[in-house]
Amino acid sequence: MNEGIFYDVIRKTLFGGVLRQSHVENISGILRAFTEVGDGDRDTIAYSLATPYHETGATMRPVREGFCKTDAGSRQAVLNLARKRGPNSSVARYSQPAGPYGHVYYGRGYPQLTWFENYDEASADAGVDLVANPDAMLDPVISARVLVRGIMDGRWNGRGRGIDYYEGGDDFLDDDEAIQARRTVNVQDKAKLIAGYHRKFYDALTLAGGWK
């Protein structure tokens, strides 16, 4: 892939003409993770870039839920959100300490990984015990690896439907299918918006000759 072309295109289409070194470093990390554990499909890497673009507020840096700087800050943020949404909401349940270490498994990293069970399952891909050390999801390499594998195998939608499922019979993710592909991460939350980001990353990868 011609990285110069790729970064020049996304600088204009996604980053308002300003692409910082931190953007490049973190995007390059996601691309490397995809090379290591991905499926070689352009749609998959485009969606693996569109997801963190949305979840991190376009910083492309792994973040805690609520964009808080500390664990204590995010714990409070999810408790506040739980009060707004009510005791039966999902955030009310995952905002409570769980497991043997008393951690709260709120959203962390590129996919905003939540729930004790998801941290436990993702530990194999992360290469570290995420139950014992959930903040390891803030490591760009670990976070990127978990993100790519999760989008591919559909572990977060409860049905094992990875991104290939949403491509249909032509192995190409059109705009409507990209909306449905949000189900690989978080049901349909901001699905249309993220589908638009997917298209821009996909077009940049195409122009740069990246993947098939």
Query: Helix (H, G, I), strand (E, B), or coil: what is residue 103?
Result: strand
Does 122 share its domain with 145?
no
Tokens 């094992």 locate to 160
Same structural domain for residues 73 and 102? yes
- Select from 83, 103, 136 the last residue of a domain: 136
Q: Is 85 found in the same domain as 44?
A: no
Report the number of distinct structural domains present in the chain.
2
Which residues of the chain have a pLDDT value below 70? Answer: 169
Token pair for 24: 């490049």
- The verdict on 145 and 115 lying in the same domain is no
Q: Domain check: are 13 and 118 in the same one?
A: no
For residue 23, what is the enclosing H or E element? helix 21-37
The per-residue pLDDT for 168 is 77
121: nearest Cα among 99, 140, 102: 99
What pLDDT score does 169 carry? 67
**Residue 167: per-residue pLDDT:** 87
Q: Please, which contacts does 154-162 make with residues 24 or more away whose CB atoms are closer than 8 Å?
A: 154/183, 154/184, 155/118, 155/121, 155/122, 156/111, 156/118, 156/184, 156/185, 156/186, 157/183, 157/184, 157/187
Range of the domain at 49: 3-62+138-208
CA angle at 171 for the pair 51 and 31, rounded to the nearest 5°: 40
My answer on whether 52 and 145 are in the same domain is yes
Last-in-domain residue among 136, 155, 180: 136
- Residue 211 is predicted with a pLDDT of 87
154 shares its domain with 174:
yes
CA distance readout (Å), 142 to 34, 100, 119, 209: 12, 22, 12, 26
Give yes or no: residues 11 and 74 share one domain: no
**CATH code assigned at 117:** 3.30.20.10
Among 121, 136, 151, identify where a domain stops: 136
User: pLDDT digit string (tens) for 32-81?
Assistant: 999 999 999 999 999 999 999 999 999 999 999 999 999 999 999 999 99
Kindly list the distances between the CA atom of residue 147 and the CA atoms of 10, 37, 50, 81, 112, in Å, as whole numbers in the listed order: 20, 10, 11, 24, 9
Residues 106 and 126 in one domain: yes
